A = this chain, B = another copy of it.
Amino acid sequence: MTGKKNGALKPMESLSLTDRVETILRQYFTENKFKPGDAIPNELDMAKKLNVSRNVVREALSRLRMLGMIEARPRKGMVMTQPDLFTGMEKVLNPFILGRDSLNEIFELRLIMEMGIAEFLFARKTDKDLAELEAIINRQASPLVASKEEEVAFHGKLYHMTGNETFKRFQTLLMPIFDHVFKEYSNPEIFTETINPVTHYDLFLLLKNGTPDEFRKGMHSHLAVYFPVTETS
């Protein structure tokens, strides 16, 4: 450690007081098992207890407010609230800042999830759902090729049918990035001219009358052009 033989020394990470207070607060909430509705100490109390200015406390709390973890009222003070899991993610889903690798990986994430939902679709599909899905397909301009909006409508309905709102919201957030990656980094002309071997209607029939495995095979064919090439397939 006496010379530069082992490369540049890494600078010590110096956290601002705001960073520290944020962490302390989150730990405090977890350790004391705060639940939605529970009252939180007020800003002045916190500033005193933590020996920092009220500004620092407010900057830290502003972060938690953005995440939906807390809610503030005049005179009553602050309470714990149930956060939305994806608020933070939604705010950084900007293709100009995410980096190429991340964008590609988000693209794949959508594929992973499309391939993973069959069991839940079959467990929770209803006649009403199926009828609505069929109606969506019937509204397509062409039965063989779907526009972007039609893709969103069809797949969005599938996500809804899983009965898992968290999944639906996650996948819905990923769609614009999927589109962006597709548009920016692949050759769109090939795909728009190619008829999809498995149509939305085919998938509908598999969902209505088939098994999860059959549906999954169909979905894989529907999305085949997006998957990495494998040696065994």
A interface residues, Cβ below 8 angstroms from B? 18-19, 22, 26, 29-30, 33-36, 55, 58-60, 62-63, 65-69, 80-89, 91-94, 96-99, 101-102, 105-106, 108-109, 111-120, 122-124, 162, 164-167, 170, 211-213, 216-217, 220, 227-233
Q: Do residues A97 and B166 form an inter-chain contact, with CB atoms below 8 A? A: no
Q: Do A229 and B97 contact each other (CB < 8 Å), given the known contacts A116-B114, A117-B112?
A: no
Q: Do residues A99 and B62 form an inter-chain contact, with CB atoms below 8 A? A: no
Which chain B residues border A69 with CB–CB below 8 Å? 91-92, 97
Q: Do residues B119 and A227 form an inter-chain contact, with CB atoms below 8 A? A: yes
Within 8 Å by CB of A63, from B19, B55, B66, B114, lies B66
A169 closest partner in B (C-beta): B105
- Bound CA–CA A105/B29 (angstroms): 23
Least CB distance, A96 to chain B, in whole angstroms: 5
A56 closest partner in B (C-beta): B62
Least CB distance, A105 to chain B, in whole angstroms: 4
A167 closest partner in B (C-beta): B109
Q: Do residues A30 and B94 form an inter-chain contact, with CB atoms below 8 A? A: yes
A219 closest partner in B (C-beta): B116
Within 8 Å by CB of A116, from B80, B98, B115, B122, lies B115
Q: Do A166 and B105 contact each other (CB < 8 Å), given the known contacts A63-B63, A88-B92?
A: yes
A229 closest partner in B (C-beta): B123
Beyond the given pairs A112-B167, A122-B232, A212-B230, 9 more chain A to chain B contacts, judged by CB atoms under 8 angstroms and listed by A's residue number, are A34-B97, A69-B92, A82-B99, A82-B102, A83-B92, A84-B92, A85-B93, A119-B220, A122-B231
- Bound CA–CA A69/B91 (angstroms): 10
- Bound CA–CA A119/B116 (angstroms): 11
Q: Do A109 and B212 contact each other (CB < 8 Å), given the known contacts A118-B115, A123-B230?
A: no
Which chain B residues border A18 with CB–CB below 8 Å? 62, 65
- Bound CA–CA A187/B116 (angstroms): 25
Q: Do residues B94 and A29 form an inter-chain contact, with CB atoms below 8 A? A: yes
Least CB distance, A184 to chain B, in whole angstroms: 13
Least CB distance, A81 to chain B, in whole angstroms: 8
Which chain B residues border A116 with CB–CB below 8 Å? 111-117
Which chain B residues border A106 with CB–CB below 8 Å? 85, 166
